[in-house]
């Protein structure tokens, strides 16, 4: 059983504990995810907290059958995009030119956000060591050498672990491939 399913199951017997576990497992990746969309730390945390509050007060776990992680990432995605739109509307009042975000632009952005959600959701499924190295490189921005030194492994091991992690992420993304993307035409 996946971690998300285990937590969802626990909600049936012990809501308090399940809610705590949900927080421990997903708060950080959700905040980082929201932050990458919104670009502001405080707003990102705020959005994620509100999603947790909604989840708890609406007792959403009672009707959810599976895909707890998917649900949380969706909720945070929509709240974050809404937050951004709200800001853009405010901005539009000043420079009236942009009445609403370009439709195409918006679709592109939403697609990117979907990929983002997959990435953050999937990191969690990596084996512990690989996850640690992945975060050290991509989030903490450390170099191969720094990671190798910190974990006392060879630089090559670091690279191997990282390319495996990327392969894993990429394959998951492939599965979510959306058909309309096939319409992209080679311009050359």
Partner 1 sequence: MKNIEEILLDHVVGEKLSEEEQRLLDEWMRVERNAHFVKVLRKMSQGRELRNALLCRPEEGMRIIREKIRRRRRRTRLRFFYAAASCVLWLAGCFLFWNVREERPATMADGGFWIWTEEENVGVQLRLGNGDVLDLDDYGDEMVAVDSFYHVRNENNTLVYSDEEQKKDSVEFNTLTVPVGAEYRLVLADGTRVYLNAGSELRFPVSFPADSREVYLTGEAYFEVAKDSERTFKVHTEVMTTIVLGTSFGVRAYPDQELVMATLAEGRLKVDCGGQMEYDLSPGKQVRFDKRTNEGQLLEVDVEQYVSWKDGYYCFDGMALEEVMEMLSVWYGFEVEYVDAEVRRYLLTGRLKRYEDYGYLLRKFNETGGIRLELEGNMVRIEKEDGDS
Region near partner 1 per CB under 8 A, out of 30-38, 59-67, 88-96, 98-106:
30-38
Of residues 5 and 45, the one with the C-beta less far from partner 1: 45
Residue 164 binds partner 1, judged by CB under 8 A: yes
Minimum CB separation of residue 21 from partner 1 in Å reads: 4
What is the CB neighbour count within 10 angstroms for residue 113? 20
Give the x-and-dash track for 60-99 against partner 1 (CB under 8 A): ----------------------------------------
Residues 6 or more apart in contact with residue 23 via CB below 8 angstroms: 52
Residue 155 binds partner 1, judged by CB under 8 A: no
Burial 52-85 (b: 16+ CB within 10 A, else e): beebeeeebbeeeeeebbebbbebbbebbbebbe
**Distance (Å, rounded) from C-alpha 56 to C-alpha 163?**
38
Region near partner 1 per CB under 8 A, out of 60-68, 69-77, 87-95, 128-136:
128-136
Out of 9, 39, 59, 105, point to the residue binding partner 1 (CB under 8 A): 39
Instruction: State the burial class of residue 16 (Cβ atoms within 10 Å of its Cβ: 0-12, 13-18, 19+).
Output: exposed
In 16-134, at which residue ranges do the beta strands (DSSP E only) sit?
Answer: none
Q: From its phi and psi, is residue 64 left (phi > 0), alpha (psi between -120 and 50) or beta?
A: beta
Residue 35 binds partner 1, judged by CB under 8 A: yes
Site for partner 1, rule CB under 8 A: 17, 20-25, 27-28, 31-32, 35-36, 39, 41, 44-45, 48-50, 52-53, 56-57, 111-112, 115-116, 119, 128-129, 135, 137-141, 143-144, 150-152, 159, 162-164, 166-167, 169-170, 173, 177-178, 181, 184, 186
């Amino acid at each position: 059983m996946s971690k998300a399913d285990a937590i969802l199951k626990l909600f049936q017997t012990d809501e308090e504990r399940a809610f705590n576990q949900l927080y421990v497992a997903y708060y950080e990746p959700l905040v980082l995810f929201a932050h990458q969309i919104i670009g502001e730390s405080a707003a990102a945390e705020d959005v994620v907290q509100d999603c947790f509050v909604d989840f708890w007060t609406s007792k959403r776990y009672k009707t959810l059958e599976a895909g707890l992680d998917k649900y949380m990432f969706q909720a945070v995605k929509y709240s974050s995009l809404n937050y951004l739109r709200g800001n853009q509307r405010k901005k539009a009042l000043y420079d009236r030119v942009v009445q609403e975000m370009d439709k195409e632009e918006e679709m592109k952005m939403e697609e990117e956000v979907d990929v983002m959600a997959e990435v953050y959701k999937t990191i969690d499924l990596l084996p512990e060591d690989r996850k640690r190295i992945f975060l050290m490189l991509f989030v903490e921005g450390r170099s191969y050498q720094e990671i190798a030194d910190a974990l006392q492994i060879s630089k090559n091991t670091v690279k191997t672990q990282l390319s495996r992690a990327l392969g894993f992420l990429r394959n998951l993304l492939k599965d979510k491939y959306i058909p309309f993307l096939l319409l992209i035409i080679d311009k050359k």
